[in-house]
């Protein structure tokens, strides 16, 4: 077998198969507990996160094909898009916000384990226009729920009902 032919086509096929397997693993769904509803990032945002890393890889590859200041620009773009892409992947694929009648559950790569915030323990609420976050407070505990999570309409309807039930006034 000719090594050049394998290098040109075989490695691309292997890379494509590996990419499909990795994407299938990343897009797998995690079972939720009965009675809990889930807010999650949409598949579109997850695809944007993956494409950001693909663009970073293309920039890095472009840096290997050129010299001088163009290579520096290509590597600089690769570093910027790698950092952004890794953050997006970490956030979109590992962030889980679930809720039920008793608690708001938050799981993120940035913290250990799942945190539970009971609705009756709420001491504060705020909405950040800049970040598009709902911020729920219970003493020192803060749970931020992004406005980019899918399922917001059902969550906001649930939240309005909970506010009426618990008598908690939104500030």
* DSSP state letters, 18-69: HHHHHHHHHTPPPP--TT-EEEEE-HHHHHHHHHHHHHHHHHHHHHHH--TH
Burial of 13-30, coded b for 16+ CB within 10 Å and e otherwise, reads eeeeeeeeeeeeeeeeee
- 5-35 confidence digits (pLDDT tens): 555 566 666 776 777 667 666 656 555 566 7
- Amino acid 130: pLDDT: 92
Pairing, β 141-146 against β 114-118? unpaired
Identify which of 5, 50, 57, 4 has the alpha carbon closest to the alpha carbon of residue 27.
50
- 113-131 confidence digits (pLDDT tens): 888 888 888 888 888 999 8
Identify which of 134, 141, 138 has the alpha carbon closest to the alpha carbon of residue 158.
134
- Residue 115's SS3 state is strand
Q: How many CB atoms sit inside 10 A of residue 77's CB?
A: 17
The rounded mean pLDDT for the chain is 79
- Any residues with CB less than 8 A from the CB of 142 and at least 6 apart, and which? 135, 136
- 144-171 confidence digits (pLDDT tens): 898 888 888 899 898 888 877 776 654 4
Whether residue 105 is predicted with pLDDT greater than 80 in this model: the reply is yes
- Residue 121's SS3 state is helix
Local structure of residue 132 (DSSP, 8 states)? T
- Amino acid 129: pLDDT: 92
Q: What are the tokens at 79?
A: 């570093």
């Amino acid at each position: 077998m000719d090594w050049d032919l394998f290098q040109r086509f075989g490695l691309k096929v292997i890379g494509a198969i590996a990419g499909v397997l990795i994407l299938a693993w990343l897009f797998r769904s995690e079972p939720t507990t009965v009675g809990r509803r889930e807010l999650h990032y949409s598949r579109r945002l997850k695809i944007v996160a993956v494409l950001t890393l693909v663009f970073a890889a293309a920039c890095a590859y472009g840096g290997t094909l050129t010299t001088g200041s163009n290579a520096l620009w290509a590597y600089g773009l690769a570093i910027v898009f790698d950092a952004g892409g890794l953050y997006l992947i970490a956030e979109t694929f590992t962030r889980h916000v679930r809720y039920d009648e008793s608690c708001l559950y938050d799981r993120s790569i940035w913290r250990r384990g799942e945190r539970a915030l009971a609705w009756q323990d709420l001491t504060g609420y705020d909405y950040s226009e800049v970040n598009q976050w709902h911020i729920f407070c219970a003493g020192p505990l803060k749970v931020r729920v992004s406005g980019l999570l899918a399922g917001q309409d059902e969550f906001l309807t649930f939240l309005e009902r909970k506010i009426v039930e618990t008598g908690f006034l939104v500030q």
